[in-house]
């Protein structure tokens, strides 16, 4: 992470904010304005009440994402290919003896999360949130396999933190509940870009995300054992929070509301909390965080790549032929709009088959668009052009009943239906292909290759920048 900070600063892609900034909404408002302009990463050196600086937006653009994972091109397709190949060839982590993340070890009465002055990011948030880009690590009690994900973490005092245990983190929690045993948890804050990128890849439950991190880096991720729980964490992390979650739901507390990735406030809920047994950190720890909210944001950039790679892996595993590119766009909050292109169609109904496969993948994909291979799925203008000119609604649009699973954060649903894990929605599939429609579409306007070659050769002579 620190190497990345230095590289960004050298390229003018990071700004140090030296004046005192209040973590109570001011830091969030600054970040929102910078995200909206796709501006630089921000290093807040003087956060009111905090003993440590904050880094925000480290991977907030595709250019910075590419730098962070060592991708020579900042193109979305090239980034996707690198992360996808890493997911197919994971490199398992290794355990080493010592790590910088344990330079200081606080236990018992020494534990004090207030030293980090967790921000209140939005005015109507239910409290301060230390974890907006922190990894939550759990182990399955039956298989022992590690699960890693990013979940919001609301600070409840100096030694407790609320844990929004949804999605895959909810699976081991329910298993520990059934066993009536507390669940060990490690929260890790401040990590290398490759680590953040790797754990954002949507993998099937039971596959270790740290293997993808190793695949991106080309070498094993180094882990160290925790001090008070039987878990391992990245050795180069800035901060590690260790603890346990009670199996008793009667112990759960009020968590939220919180300004979410949709651009709306997510509802408050009863949630488990982590009883902290140790906090370990670097002497000069930097707190890594991000601002959630409507696109564009660092969160949508990270999830766009990670979720697109996950969906691409799933679709290829189905055996449906002809799949070319897959993209869950920033504009769709990296969740709600999935675009898939087919370089070849071999039979009628193939596009509809892809649509149903997306819905069966576990990805939200509230709107799924299937296009021909000539459409650039990474360019929303190109995708909307294909929808506008290739779709007859009565023929090419599928709308389901409201019985398919969805994130409970979708604000378009009535509040009484936004209940985890019972939230269900209708979905729309759009066949924006030109094949097997019973007629031939007109020719697409395009310049001949010899004309393109001529213009390429003479471009500098035209005097157009």
CATH assignment at residue 386:
3.40.1670.10
Co-location of 152 and 43 in the same domain: yes
Distance (Å, whole) CA 276 – CA 163 = 12
Residue 72: its pLDDT value, please? 84
Provide the whole-model pTM. Answer: 0.92
Co-location of 58 and 187 in the same domain: yes
Burial of 53 (0-12, 13-18, 19+ CB in 10 A): middle
Q: Which residue has the higher pLDDT, 342 or 409?
A: 342
Q: Is residue 151 part of a domain?
A: yes
Distance (Å, whole) CA 230 – CA 207 = 19
Co-location of 226 and 342 in the same domain: no
pLDDT class for 408, splitting at 50, 70, 90? confident
Task: Give mean pLDDT, residues 6-26.
Answer: 97
Question: How do residues 184-221 score in pLDDT, each as one tens digit?
Answer: 999 999 999 999 999 999 999 989 999 999 999 999 99
Residue 374: its pLDDT value, please? 95
Q: Which long-range contacts (CB under 8 A, 24 or more apart) does 131-134 make?
A: 131/161, 131/187, 131/189, 132/289, 132/290, 132/291, 132/292, 132/299, 133/189, 133/196, 133/288, 133/289, 133/290, 133/298, 133/299, 134/187, 134/188, 134/189, 134/241, 134/288, 134/289
Q: Is residue 376 part of a domain?
A: yes
Co-location of 374 and 334 in the same domain: yes
Match 């925000």 to its residue by tokens: 56
pLDDT class for 447, splitting at 50, 70, 90? confident
Q: Would you state the structure tokens that stand for residue 384, as one six-digit string?
A: 């909307």
Distance (Å, whole) CA 192 – CA 131 = 16
What's the total number of domains in the chain?
2
3-state SS, one letter per residue, for 153-183: EEECCCCEEEECCCHHHHHHHHHHHHHCCCE
Co-location of 387 and 268 in the same domain: no
The dihedral region occupied by 57, where left means phi > 0, alpha psi between -120 and 50, and beta the remainder, is: left
Strand locations in 117-238 (E): 129-131, 135-139, 146-150, 153-155, 160-163, 183-189, 222-225, 232-234
By residue range, what is the domain housing residue 415? Answer: 318-432
Q: What is the mean pLDDT of the chain?
A: 94
Residue 404: its pLDDT value, please? 87
pLDDT class for 174, splitting at 50, 70, 90? very high
Q: Is the pLDDT of residue 364 over 80?
A: no
Paired strand residues for 6: none
- Cβ(102)–Cβ(280) below 8 Å: yes
Distance (Å, whole) CA 347 – CA 423 = 35
Q: Would you state the structure tokens that stand for residue 308, as one six-digit string?
A: 């697109």
CATH assignment at residue 8:
2.30.110.10
């Amino acid at each position: 992470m620190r190497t990345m900070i230095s590289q960004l600063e050298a390229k003018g892609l990071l700004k140090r904010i030296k004046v005192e900034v209040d973590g109570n909404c001011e830091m969030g408002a600054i970040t929102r304005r910078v995200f909206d302009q796709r501006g630089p990463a921000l290093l807040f050196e003087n956060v009111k009440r905090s003993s440590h600086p904050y880094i925000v937006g480290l991977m907030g653009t595709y250019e910075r994402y590419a730098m962070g994972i060592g991708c020579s091109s900042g193109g979305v397709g090239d980034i996707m290919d690198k992360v996808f190949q890493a997911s197919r060839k994971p490199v398992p982590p290794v355990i080493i003896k010592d790590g910088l993340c344990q330079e200081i070890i606080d236990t018992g009465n020494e534990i004090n999360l207030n030293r980090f002055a967790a921000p209140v990011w939005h005015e109507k948030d239910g409290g301060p949130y230390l974890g907006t880009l922190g990894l939550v690590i759990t182990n399955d009690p039956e298989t022992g396999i590690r699960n890693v994900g990013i979940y919001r973490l609301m600070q409840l005092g100096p030694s407790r933190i609320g844990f929004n245990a949804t999605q895959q983190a909810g699976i081991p929690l329910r298993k520990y509940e059934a066993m009536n045993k507390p669940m060990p948890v490690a929260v890790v804050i401040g990590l290398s870009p490759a680590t953040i990128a790797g754990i954002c890849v949507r993998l099937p439950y039971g596959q270790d995300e740290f293997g993808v991190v190793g695949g991106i880096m080309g070498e094993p991720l180094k882990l160290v054992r925790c001090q008070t729980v039987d878990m391992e964490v990245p050795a180069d992390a800035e901060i590690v929070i260790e603890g346990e979650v009670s199996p008793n739901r009667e112990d759960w507390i009020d968590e939220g509301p919180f300004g979410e990735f949709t651009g709306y406030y997510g509802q408050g809920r009863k949630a488990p909390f982590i009883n902290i047994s140790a906090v370990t950190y670097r002497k000069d720890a930097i707190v890594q965080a991000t601002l959630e909210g409507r696109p564009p944001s660092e969160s949508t950039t990270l999830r766009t790549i990670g979720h697109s790679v996950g969906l691409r892996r799933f679709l290829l595993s189905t055996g449906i032929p002809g799949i070319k590119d897959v993209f869950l766009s920033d504009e769709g909050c990296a969740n709600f709009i999935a675009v898939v292109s087919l370089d070849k169609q071999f039979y009628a109904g193939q596009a509809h088959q892809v649509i149903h496969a997306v819905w069966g993948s576990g990805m939200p994909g509230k709107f799924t668009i299937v296009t021909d291979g000539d459409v650039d799925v990474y360019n929303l203008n190109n995708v909307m052009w294909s929808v506008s000119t290739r779709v007859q609604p009565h023929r090419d649009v599928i709308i389901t009943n409201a019985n398919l699973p969805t994130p409970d954060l979708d604000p378009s649903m009535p509040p009484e239906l936004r209940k985890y894990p019972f939230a269900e929605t209708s979905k729309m599939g759009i066949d924006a292909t030109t094949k097997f429609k019973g007629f031939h579409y007109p020719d697409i306007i395009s310049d001949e290759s010899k004309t393109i070659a001529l213009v390429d050769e003479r471009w500098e002579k035209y005097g157009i920048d």
